Amino acid sequence: MKILVTGGTGYIGSHTVVELQNKGFEVVIVDNLSNSSADIVDNIEKITGVRPLLEVFDLTDFDKTMDFFTRHNDIKGVIHFAAYKAVGESVEKPLMYYRNNLVSLMNILESMIANKVENLVFSSSCTVYGQPDELPVSEKAPIKKAESPYGNTKQISEEIIQDSVKAYDVKGIALRYFNPIGAHESALIGELPLGVPNNLVPFITQTAIGIRDQLKVFGDDYPTPDGTPIRDYIHVVDLAKAHVIAVNRMIEGKMKKDFEVFNLGTGKGYSVLEVINAFEKTTGQKLNYKIVERRPGDVIEVWADPTFSNQELGWKAEKGIDEMVLSAWNWEKALRSKNKD
């Protein structure tokens, strides 16, 4: 059973390729390597014993995308990760974000429809909820006006898929990720932020290993128990496993509606200071950090109600915060020792 994974050499995509192969799927990756490297395929092969096919091209190129689908006419499902994802950069370069994230999705949908590929799993985000009125946040919560062009691309993408599902022979599942962190236990694949990381955990591990001097904790005057914002951190391997279940659900014709949305979170929130404490405790590393002013645009607190995913997908996040931060640390160490060679 052949699955196309777009963005499959990226962070979440590479972990999903591993889980798909573990379940016996044949995987073809399309990636333009704008935020990843081709040698990830070597590491996927080291983990699973199977080398996925990688085709390097840009999914905003309509002709190349259509040609790809025509050549691979036995694809049963598409898991679409390929996108730009840096919130701050999207504010600086909104058109680059709209073009990349929306044109690639439309090219994929048109190529799927023309080639009778019906099943699309899409990477969405909890960012669509903004600061929810009620916590935990379920899939029924209203979509809030996006805080950034990046967030808006996720909202618009969900709408594009929803409208396409109504008009064509295509089905969609949007998976709304909360905060993916951690790495594969082999430490062969993980997150590879380019330049200075925006996200908390890569910044923590880079500070602990000595690449960054100090972690800045953005505000401790929020209305939360310790004053720092709360998020639902989820292990990337748990997240990857949900994609395998989602694509299987589509292929096996088990969807209840032609467009479905699922939250992928643990249901538990941790504050920034709790994440730092978990990191220090599990790794034995003392972290140099200081409290600074708030970062504009940060929501106070958000965590998932994963009940619907648990019940409908039969999926549940299994790994706790300690395992998440420890695996992120092991990946950081492996990465830096490799770079010294």
- Report the interface residues with ligand WQD, using CB under 6 A: 85, 87, 125, 127, 179, 198-200, 203, 215-218, 229, 231, 272, 295, 298
Contact 82, 104 (CB under 8 A): yes
Q: Which residue's CB is nearer to ligand WQD, number 54 or number 204?
A: 204
Q: For residue 75, give both structure tokens.
A: 């694809």
Nearest to 275 by CA among 219, 201, 176: 201
Q: For residue 160, give both structure tokens.
A: 């594009």
Task: Out of 2, 22, 26, 33, point to the residue binding ligand NAD (CB under 6 A).
Answer: 33
Task: Out of 28, 54, 59, 188, point to the residue binding ligand NAD (CB under 6 A).
Answer: 59
Nearest to 106 by CA among 1, 3, 240, 6: 6
Task: Out of 3, 5, 9, 183, point to the residue binding ligand NAD (CB under 6 A).
Answer: 9
Q: Which residue's CB is nearer to ligand WQD, number 24 or number 210?
A: 210
Q: Which stretch binds ligand NAD (CB under 6 A): 53-61, 138-146, 300-308, 326-334?
A: 53-61
Q: Which amino acid is at 262?
A: F
Contact 269, 336 (CB under 8 A): no
CB of 203 to ligand WQD, least distance (A): 4
**Active-site pick, 11, 150, 222, 270:** 150
- 10 contact choice in ligand NAD, ligand WQD, none (CB below 5 to 8 Å, kind-dependent): ligand NAD
The angle formed by the CA atoms of residues 155, 158 and 164, to the nearest 5 degrees, is: 140
Question: Locate tokens 């809030």: which residue?
Answer: 144
Task: Out of 3, 5, 7, 306, point to the residue binding ligand NAD (CB under 6 A).
Answer: 7
Q: Is 177 a catalytic residue?
A: no
Task: Give the residue closest to ligand NAD by C-beta.
Answer: 10
Q: Which residue's CB is nearer to ligand NAD, number 72 or number 281?
A: 72
Burial of 219 (0-12, 13-18, 19+ CB in 10 A): middle
Q: Which stretch binds ligand NAD (CB under 6 A): 56-64, 160-168, 271-279, 310-318?
A: 56-64
Q: Which stretch binds ligand NAD (CB under 6 A): 20-28, 34-42, 90-98, 287-295?
A: 34-42
Contact 263, 41 (CB under 8 A): no
Binding mask 110-149 for ligand NAD (x = CB under 6 A): -------------x-x------------------------
Task: Out of 21, 43, 90, 100, point to the residue binding ligand NAD (CB under 6 A).
Answer: 100
Catalytic residues: 150
Q: What are the residues binding ligand NAD (CB under 6 A)?
A: 7, 9-13, 30-36, 58-60, 81-85, 100, 104, 123, 125, 177, 180
